[in-house]
Amino acid sequence: MPVDFSGTWNLVSNDNFEGYMVALGIDFATRKIAKMLKPQKVIKQDGDSFYIHTTSTFRDYLLEFKVGEEFEEDNKGLDNRKCKSLVTWENDKLVCVQTGEKKNRGWTHWLEGDDLHLELRCENQVCRQVFKRA
Where does this chain bind ligand VLZ (CB under 6 A)? 26, 30, 34, 37, 39, 41, 52, 54, 56, 58-59, 61, 63, 78, 107, 118, 120
Of 23 and 107, nearer to ligand VLZ (C-beta) is 107
Question: Considering only CA atoms, which of 4, 13, 8 is closest in space to residue 118?
Answer: 13
58 contacts 34 by C-beta, under 8 angstroms: yes
Q: How far is the CB of 46 from ligand VLZ (least distance, A)?
A: 16
Q: How far is the CB of 129 from ligand VLZ (least distance, A)?
A: 8
Q: How far is the CB of 97 from ligand VLZ (least distance, A)?
A: 12
Q: How far is CA 88 from CA 30, 32, 49, 125, in A?
A: 31, 33, 11, 21
Q: How far is the CB of 25 from ligand VLZ (least distance, A)?
A: 10
Of 41 and 102, nearer to ligand VLZ (C-beta) is 41
Q: How far apart are CA 27 and CA 19, in angstroms?
A: 12
Of 61 and 110, nearer to ligand VLZ (C-beta) is 61
Of 87 and 124, nearer to ligand VLZ (C-beta) is 87
Question: Considering only CA atoms, which of 35, 28, 3, 2 is closest in space to residue 111?
Answer: 3
Q: How far is CA 119 from CA 1, 8, 28, 29, 122, in A?
A: 24, 18, 22, 24, 10
